[in-house]
Chain A
Amino acid sequence: MSAKTKTISGKEGQVGTTQAIRALLRKELLVELRTLESVPGMSLFAVTTFVVFHFALNQNSVSGDEAAGILWVTLLFAAMLGVNRLFVADEDQGGFDAFLLAPVDRSAMLLAKALALLAYLLVLELVAVPAFGLLLLGPSLGQALPELLVVLVLADLGVAVIGTLVAALAVRTRARDLLGPLLALPLLVPVVIAGARATSPLLGLTHAEHPPARWLLTLGLYDLVFGLIAYAVFDFLLED
């Protein structure tokens, strides 16, 4: 029997993009489970930062704008740790070359990496948000949680796409640890602003029922624009 059981999609002999994304994502999560290089570091960073804020602010609790600012800045810097590590194993162990030799659409790697980063961010928030509620937040988190989840997911999509794009650009340079955050942070400022503005009413002493729609829309639009940009340019970042 032939070794090849290829799914034809678009170009002759090319393996289906969904199959490639599944393979890449599975590998990505397996490597993270084995090495624990990203998610534990991100989570620990976030919790430690909340502890530092707790003492530095000399306040028992924060709310409103202040709370939203602390939460989003902390999540952003914690996300940077994951962004910086995203392609390191591929670059150092030849994963890029192996992928480029395979008959698959290059966008499969963008999607798989963005999904992996999204998963890391969700796990980070699973740890960081309750820690934030416990260590810093004055008002109860319970009521705000469903709306906060919507804001977090919308912002995470933007961070995942922009983070993947920037990480792919930075990883092949000698100053990758510096270049990643330098490129990502300015691009992510709108996500932080929109995230914080959408979150602020939810974390106020008088809990608002819904986050402001225009900030949710801003986040959605930003995700869409950068999603399209990333899809258009990702091939060029991988090719020689």
Chain B
Amino acid sequence: MIELDGLVRRYGEREALSDVSLSLAAGQTLVVFGPNGAGKTTLLRVLSTLLRPHSGEVTVLDRRLPQDAWAVRGRVGLLGHEPLLYRELSARENLRFHARLHGVGEERVEELLAAVRMRDRAQEPLRALSRGMVQRVAIARAVLHDPELLLLDEPRANLDPAASELVEPLIGAASSRTRVISSHDPGGGLSEADLVLGLRAGRPALLREAGDVDPEEIAELYR
């Protein structure tokens, strides 16, 4: 599903990701830990095809990047720090726009608005909604096209416990999708992970099966 071999990504002279290698099978969950600026978001953006790898080999959904990026787009759902939604449009208008871009029927929009309990507020512009509500709409947007691979950057940020439970069938283990999640929560992250990657200054400092990882090792990444 995902194969990385010596992935390097730079911003100017600075290496944001350096020599990252790993393998993730279909249906598994990779959780990426690391302090701010460690390269977690960059890794998700490379996997989503938004950023090109500068060296190394990257295979996502059995396709090489960046050559076959066109074949990966539309099969990946990205939930980043930004909701990728227009503030002046309502939740329904935003989701309908994305549905058209992905060739998805409008009934799916209504289904997801109901799933994230946003039907009552679906007509209001996003700028009038709370951050938690916008995050719920963003989650609906990320899974709108039923992607095989979910790339989630701190997906439960801004969500209260009830909302977090609400989106579990969409982005949690119950969704039965392959997932790459960036997290700052060692307890919560470990419970979801099959594989754990710890990044420090763009370099892998920890790569192990989740069962073999001590939460203290994750805490160590942030010191």
Binding site for B on A (CB under 8 A): 1-7, 11-16, 19-20, 22-24, 26-27, 30-31, 34-35, 89, 93-95, 97-104, 239-240
Contact = CB atoms under 8 A, between A and B. Distances in A.
Contact of A103 (B70, B84, B89, B146): B70
Interface string B201-215: 000000000000000
Contacts of A103: 70, 73-74, 102-103
A93 B32 CA distance: 25
B85 A3 contact: no
A100 B71 CA distance: 12
Contact of A3 (B73, B75, B144): B144
Most buried by A among B51, B85, B97, B101: B101
Contacts of B93: 27, 30
Given A11-B71, A97-B78, A101-B73, A89 B86 contact: yes
A95 B50 CA distance: 12
Contacts of A239: 52
Interface in B77-135: 78, 80, 82-89, 93, 97-98, 100-105, 107-108, 125
Contact of A12 (B52, B71, B82, B103): B71
A94 B103 contact: no
Interface in B161-220: none
Contact of A7 (B103, B141, B144): B103
A27 B86 contact: yes
Interface string B26-52: 000000000000000000000011111
Given A22-B100, A30-B89, A100-B49, 8 more contacts: A4-B102, A12-B71, A15-B100, A16-B103, A93-B86, A100-B73, A101-B49, A239-B52
Most buried by A among B80, B86, B87, B103: B103
Contact of B97 (A11, A23, A240): A23
A12 B75 CA distance: 12
Contacts of B88: 30-31, 34-35, 89
Contacts of A30: 88-89, 93
Interface residues of B, number: 37
10 contacts: A1-B107, A5-B103, A12-B71, A15-B103, A19-B103, A24-B101, A89-B88, A98-B141, A103-B102, A240-B51
A95 B144 CA distance: 16
B101 A23 contact: yes
Nearest to A6: B103
Interface of B: 48-52, 70-71, 73-76, 78, 80, 82-89, 93, 97-98, 100-105, 107-108, 125, 141, 144-146
B49 to A, nearest CB: 7
B83 A94 contact: yes
Nearest to B105: A5
Nearest to A35: B88
Nearest to B98: A98
Given A3-B104, A4-B103, A94 B89 contact: no
B70 A14 contact: yes
A174 B182 CA distance: 29
A95 to B, nearest CB: 7
Given A13-B71, A27-B97, A102 B86 contact: no
Contacts of B74: 13-15, 101-103
B75 A94 contact: no
Contacts of B76: 101
Nearest to B48: A101
